Amino acid sequence: MKKHRKRLWLLLSLILVIIIGLGTFIGLRKNQPTKAALPKATATVFFHGWGSSKHAKEQMANYLVSHKYASSIIVADVDYQGHVKYSGTLPAKTKNFIVEVNLQNNKSVSPNGGMTYSQSSNYVADVLASLKKKWKINNVNLVAHSMGNLQVIYFIKNHAGSSKYPKINKLVAIAGHYNGIIGMDDPKDTSLNADGKPKMMNDTYRDLLLLRNTFPSNIKVMNIYGNYKNQGDGSVNNNSSKSLRYLVQNRAKSYEEHEIRGYGAQHSRLHENKEVDRLLLQFLK
Protein backbone atom coordinates (compact mmCIF):
# COMPACT_ATOMS: atom_id res chain seq x y z
CA MET A 1 0.00 0.00 0.00
CA LYS A 2 2.86 2.39 0.89
CA LYS A 3 4.62 1.63 -2.41
CA HIS A 4 1.38 2.28 -4.31
CA ARG A 5 0.90 5.63 -2.56
CA LYS A 6 4.52 6.57 -3.25
CA ARG A 7 4.16 5.77 -6.96
CA LEU A 8 0.89 7.70 -7.12
CA TRP A 9 2.50 10.67 -5.42
CA LEU A 10 5.45 10.58 -7.83
CA LEU A 11 3.08 10.36 -10.79
CA LEU A 12 1.01 13.31 -9.56
CA SER A 13 4.18 15.31 -8.92
CA LEU A 14 5.41 14.57 -12.44
CA ILE A 15 2.06 15.64 -13.94
CA LEU A 16 2.16 18.85 -11.88
CA VAL A 17 5.70 19.64 -13.07
CA ILE A 18 4.63 19.06 -16.70
CA ILE A 19 1.57 21.32 -16.29
CA ILE A 20 3.64 24.11 -14.71
CA GLY A 21 6.31 23.77 -17.40
CA LEU A 22 3.74 23.83 -20.17
CA GLY A 23 2.05 26.88 -18.67
CA THR A 24 5.39 28.69 -18.41
CA PHE A 25 6.20 27.80 -22.02
CA ILE A 26 2.81 29.08 -23.23
CA GLY A 27 3.23 32.25 -21.19
CA LEU A 28 6.63 32.88 -22.69
CA ARG A 29 5.28 32.22 -26.17
CA LYS A 30 2.41 34.67 -25.58
CA ASN A 31 4.92 37.33 -24.54
CA GLN A 32 6.70 37.10 -27.89
CA PRO A 33 5.53 39.27 -30.79
CA THR A 34 4.52 37.38 -33.90
CA LYS A 35 7.21 36.67 -36.47
CA ALA A 36 4.72 37.00 -39.32
CA ALA A 37 5.17 39.82 -41.82
CA LEU A 38 2.69 42.68 -41.37
CA PRO A 39 3.21 44.88 -44.46
CA LYS A 40 -0.30 46.39 -44.23
CA ALA A 41 -0.08 47.25 -40.53
CA THR A 42 0.70 50.72 -39.19
CA ALA A 43 2.91 51.09 -36.13
CA THR A 44 2.49 54.16 -33.93
CA VAL A 45 5.87 54.60 -32.26
CA PHE A 46 6.28 56.59 -29.02
CA PHE A 47 9.64 58.20 -28.16
CA HIS A 48 10.07 59.49 -24.59
CA GLY A 49 11.98 62.46 -23.22
CA TRP A 50 15.27 62.99 -21.40
CA GLY A 51 15.75 60.77 -18.36
CA SER A 52 12.40 59.10 -18.96
CA SER A 53 11.22 55.68 -20.15
CA LYS A 54 8.39 53.83 -21.84
CA HIS A 55 6.23 54.47 -18.77
CA ALA A 56 5.84 58.12 -19.77
CA LYS A 57 3.72 57.07 -22.75
CA GLU A 58 1.62 54.35 -21.12
CA GLN A 59 -1.45 56.51 -20.49
CA MET A 60 -1.61 57.68 -24.11
CA ALA A 61 -0.95 54.19 -25.44
CA ASN A 62 -3.62 52.62 -23.24
CA TYR A 63 -6.08 55.35 -24.23
CA LEU A 64 -5.58 54.54 -27.92
CA VAL A 65 -6.15 50.84 -27.26
CA SER A 66 -9.21 51.43 -25.08
CA HIS A 67 -10.73 53.56 -27.86
CA LYS A 68 -10.09 50.86 -30.46
CA TYR A 69 -7.50 52.75 -32.49
CA ALA A 70 -4.85 50.10 -31.83
CA SER A 71 -5.20 46.46 -30.90
CA SER A 72 -1.81 45.81 -29.29
CA ILE A 73 1.06 47.42 -27.42
CA ILE A 74 4.61 46.13 -27.64
CA VAL A 75 7.80 47.47 -26.04
CA ALA A 76 11.02 48.12 -27.93
CA ASP A 77 13.95 48.04 -25.50
CA VAL A 78 16.96 49.75 -27.07
CA ASP A 79 20.41 49.27 -25.55
CA TYR A 80 23.31 51.74 -25.66
CA GLN A 81 24.55 50.27 -28.94
CA GLY A 82 21.14 50.56 -30.61
CA HIS A 83 20.19 46.88 -30.50
CA VAL A 84 16.40 46.53 -30.32
CA LYS A 85 14.57 43.79 -28.41
CA TYR A 86 10.78 43.50 -28.51
CA SER A 87 8.36 42.19 -25.91
CA GLY A 88 4.58 41.99 -25.81
CA THR A 89 1.81 40.32 -27.79
CA LEU A 90 1.28 41.09 -31.46
CA PRO A 91 -1.40 38.97 -33.19
CA ALA A 92 -0.77 37.84 -36.77
CA LYS A 93 -3.65 39.92 -38.23
CA THR A 94 -2.74 43.14 -36.46
CA LYS A 95 -3.79 46.32 -38.29
CA ASN A 96 -2.71 49.13 -35.96
CA PHE A 97 -0.35 48.62 -33.05
CA ILE A 98 1.71 50.74 -30.67
CA VAL A 99 5.42 50.56 -29.97
CA GLU A 100 6.61 52.04 -26.68
CA VAL A 101 10.31 52.76 -27.12
CA ASN A 102 12.43 52.35 -24.00
CA LEU A 103 15.94 53.78 -24.33
CA GLN A 104 18.61 52.51 -21.94
CA ASN A 105 20.63 55.59 -22.88
CA ASN A 106 17.82 57.91 -21.87
CA LYS A 107 20.18 60.82 -21.17
CA SER A 108 22.09 60.52 -24.43
CA VAL A 109 22.01 64.27 -25.08
CA SER A 110 23.75 66.01 -22.20
CA PRO A 111 25.42 69.39 -21.66
CA ASN A 112 28.29 67.48 -20.06
CA GLY A 113 29.60 65.81 -23.19
CA GLY A 114 26.78 63.57 -24.39
CA MET A 115 25.73 62.86 -27.96
CA THR A 116 24.54 65.53 -30.35
CA TYR A 117 20.86 65.40 -31.27
CA SER A 118 21.90 64.15 -34.69
CA GLN A 119 23.88 61.27 -33.17
CA SER A 120 21.10 60.46 -30.70
CA SER A 121 18.61 60.27 -33.57
CA ASN A 122 20.31 57.01 -34.58
CA TYR A 123 18.17 55.34 -31.91
CA VAL A 124 15.09 56.34 -33.91
CA ALA A 125 16.74 54.90 -37.01
CA ASP A 126 17.50 51.64 -35.16
CA VAL A 127 13.88 51.18 -34.07
CA LEU A 128 12.34 52.00 -37.45
CA ALA A 129 14.83 49.85 -39.36
CA SER A 130 14.08 46.92 -37.04
CA LEU A 131 10.33 47.30 -37.61
CA LYS A 132 10.93 47.18 -41.35
CA LYS A 133 13.22 44.18 -41.10
CA LYS A 134 11.29 42.15 -38.52
CA TRP A 135 7.69 42.63 -39.71
CA LYS A 136 8.04 44.35 -43.11
CA ILE A 137 6.29 47.41 -41.65
CA ASN A 138 5.85 50.01 -44.39
CA ASN A 139 3.96 52.74 -42.50
CA VAL A 140 4.49 54.39 -39.15
CA ASN A 141 3.20 57.30 -37.10
CA LEU A 142 5.66 58.94 -34.70
CA VAL A 143 4.72 60.48 -31.34
CA ALA A 144 7.45 62.22 -29.36
CA HIS A 145 7.78 64.15 -26.12
CA SER A 146 10.53 66.62 -25.20
CA MET A 147 13.97 65.22 -26.21
CA GLY A 148 12.24 62.61 -28.37
CA ASN A 149 11.12 65.42 -30.68
CA LEU A 150 14.69 66.42 -31.49
CA GLN A 151 15.67 62.79 -32.03
CA VAL A 152 12.76 62.34 -34.42
CA ILE A 153 13.23 65.60 -36.34
CA TYR A 154 16.94 64.87 -36.81
CA PHE A 155 16.08 61.37 -38.02
CA ILE A 156 13.82 62.95 -40.64
CA LYS A 157 16.53 65.46 -41.56
CA ASN A 158 19.16 62.74 -41.92
CA HIS A 159 17.11 59.99 -43.56
CA ALA A 160 14.10 61.53 -45.32
CA GLY A 161 13.09 59.37 -48.27
CA SER A 162 15.33 56.39 -47.46
CA SER A 163 13.74 53.06 -48.40
CA LYS A 164 15.54 51.43 -45.47
CA TYR A 165 12.83 52.77 -43.15
CA PRO A 166 9.02 52.73 -43.11
CA LYS A 167 7.23 55.78 -44.48
CA ILE A 168 6.16 58.29 -41.83
CA ASN A 169 2.49 59.18 -42.25
CA LYS A 170 1.88 61.34 -39.19
CA LEU A 171 4.08 63.14 -36.70
CA VAL A 172 2.89 64.27 -33.26
CA ALA A 173 5.22 66.65 -31.42
CA ILE A 174 4.58 67.23 -27.71
CA ALA A 175 6.60 69.87 -25.82
CA GLY A 176 9.26 70.16 -28.50
CA HIS A 177 12.21 72.50 -27.86
CA TYR A 178 13.33 73.17 -31.42
CA ASN A 179 14.81 76.58 -30.57
CA GLY A 180 16.09 75.86 -27.10
CA ILE A 181 15.22 75.06 -23.48
CA ILE A 182 14.54 77.80 -20.95
CA GLY A 183 17.77 78.85 -19.22
CA MET A 184 19.96 76.48 -21.25
CA ASP A 185 20.25 77.13 -24.97
CA ASP A 186 17.30 79.39 -25.72
CA PRO A 187 18.10 82.66 -27.53
CA LYS A 188 17.70 86.00 -25.74
CA ASP A 189 14.80 86.93 -27.98
CA THR A 190 12.40 84.01 -28.44
CA SER A 191 9.77 85.91 -30.42
CA LEU A 192 8.53 84.77 -33.83
CA ASN A 193 7.81 86.66 -37.03
CA ALA A 194 4.37 86.45 -38.64
CA ASP A 195 5.46 83.44 -40.71
CA GLY A 196 6.72 81.64 -37.60
CA LYS A 197 10.39 82.32 -38.19
CA PRO A 198 12.32 82.91 -34.95
CA LYS A 199 13.87 86.37 -34.73
CA MET A 200 16.87 84.74 -33.06
CA MET A 201 17.99 81.12 -33.56
CA ASN A 202 20.21 78.81 -31.55
CA ASP A 203 22.72 76.47 -33.25
CA THR A 204 20.34 73.52 -33.30
CA TYR A 205 17.60 75.48 -35.03
CA ARG A 206 19.99 76.81 -37.67
CA ASP A 207 21.07 73.23 -38.34
CA LEU A 208 17.43 72.21 -38.85
CA LEU A 209 16.69 74.91 -41.44
CA LEU A 210 17.50 72.40 -44.19
CA LEU A 211 14.12 70.82 -43.42
CA ARG A 212 12.42 73.72 -45.14
CA ASN A 213 13.57 72.13 -48.40
CA THR A 214 13.62 68.44 -47.51
CA PHE A 215 10.76 67.67 -45.10
CA PRO A 216 8.65 64.86 -46.67
CA SER A 217 5.49 66.22 -48.27
CA ASN A 218 3.39 63.22 -47.23
CA ILE A 219 3.66 63.77 -43.46
CA LYS A 220 0.80 65.30 -41.47
CA VAL A 221 2.06 67.16 -38.41
CA MET A 222 0.35 67.98 -35.11
CA ASN A 223 2.26 70.19 -32.67
CA ILE A 224 1.10 70.27 -29.01
CA TYR A 225 2.59 72.62 -26.42
CA GLY A 226 1.70 73.61 -22.89
CA ASN A 227 1.06 77.14 -21.63
CA TYR A 228 1.51 76.39 -17.94
CA LYS A 229 2.99 79.74 -16.94
CA ASN A 230 4.75 82.70 -18.57
CA GLN A 231 4.01 81.46 -22.09
CA GLY A 232 5.79 78.18 -21.52
CA ASP A 233 5.42 74.74 -19.95
CA GLY A 234 7.99 75.43 -17.25
CA SER A 235 10.85 73.98 -19.29
CA VAL A 236 10.19 75.06 -22.86
CA ASN A 237 9.04 78.46 -24.09
CA ASN A 238 5.95 78.18 -26.29
CA ASN A 239 7.73 79.98 -29.13
CA SER A 240 10.45 77.32 -29.10
CA SER A 241 7.78 74.67 -29.61
CA LYS A 242 5.90 76.75 -32.17
CA SER A 243 9.07 77.35 -34.19
CA LEU A 244 8.50 73.90 -35.71
CA ARG A 245 5.95 75.55 -38.01
CA TYR A 246 8.56 77.55 -39.90
CA LEU A 247 10.62 74.38 -40.50
CA VAL A 248 7.87 72.17 -41.91
CA GLN A 249 4.64 73.97 -42.75
CA ASN A 250 5.46 74.83 -46.36
CA ARG A 251 6.19 71.17 -47.17
CA ALA A 252 4.12 69.07 -44.75
CA LYS A 253 0.87 67.56 -46.00
CA SER A 254 -0.85 69.42 -43.17
CA TYR A 255 0.18 71.27 -40.03
CA GLU A 256 -1.80 72.09 -36.90
CA GLU A 257 -1.00 73.49 -33.46
CA HIS A 258 -2.76 73.03 -30.15
CA GLU A 259 -2.11 74.95 -26.93
CA ILE A 260 -2.86 73.19 -23.64
CA ARG A 261 -3.51 75.33 -20.57
CA GLY A 262 -3.66 74.80 -16.83
CA TYR A 263 -2.04 72.45 -14.35
CA GLY A 264 -1.79 69.60 -16.85
CA ALA A 265 0.10 71.82 -19.31
CA GLN A 266 3.34 71.54 -17.32
CA HIS A 267 6.16 69.95 -19.35
CA SER A 268 6.21 66.52 -17.70
CA ARG A 269 2.45 66.37 -17.22
CA LEU A 270 1.54 66.86 -20.88
CA HIS A 271 1.86 63.15 -21.61
CA GLU A 272 -0.58 62.45 -18.76
CA ASN A 273 -3.13 64.98 -20.00
CA LYS A 274 -6.56 63.72 -21.10
CA GLU A 275 -6.97 66.61 -23.53
CA VAL A 276 -3.74 65.49 -25.22
CA ASP A 277 -5.11 61.94 -25.32
CA ARG A 278 -8.22 63.12 -27.15
CA LEU A 279 -6.25 65.23 -29.62
CA LEU A 280 -3.94 62.32 -30.32
CA LEU A 281 -6.79 59.91 -30.99
CA GLN A 282 -8.59 62.37 -33.27
CA PHE A 283 -5.42 63.04 -35.25
CA LEU A 284 -4.36 59.43 -35.70
CA LYS A 285 -7.79 58.05 -36.74
**Full 3-state SS string of the chain:** CHHHHHHHHHHHHHHHHHHHHHHHHHHHHHCCCCCCCCCCCEEEEEECCCCCCHHHHHHHHHHHHHCCCCCEEEEEEECCCCCEEEEECCCCCCCEEEEEEEECCCCCCCCCCCCCHHHHCHHHHHHHHHHHHHHCCCEEEEEEECHHHHHHHHHHHHHCCCCCCCEEEEEEEECCCCCCCCCCCCCCCCCECCCCCECCCCHHHHHHCCHHHHCCCCCEEEEEEEECECCECCCCEHHHHHCHHHHHCCCCCEEEEEEEECHHHCHHHHHHCHHHHHHHHHHHC
Q: Residue 285: pLDDT above 90?
A: yes
Instruction: Give the per-residue pLDDT at 25.
Output: 43
Q: Which has more confidence, 92 or 86?
A: 86
pTM reported for the whole predicted model: 0.88
219-268 pLDDT, tens digit each: 999 999 999 999 999 999 999 999 999 999 999 999 999 999 999 999 99
pLDDT single digits (tens) 109-148: 987 778 999 999 999 999 999 999 999 999 999 999 999 9
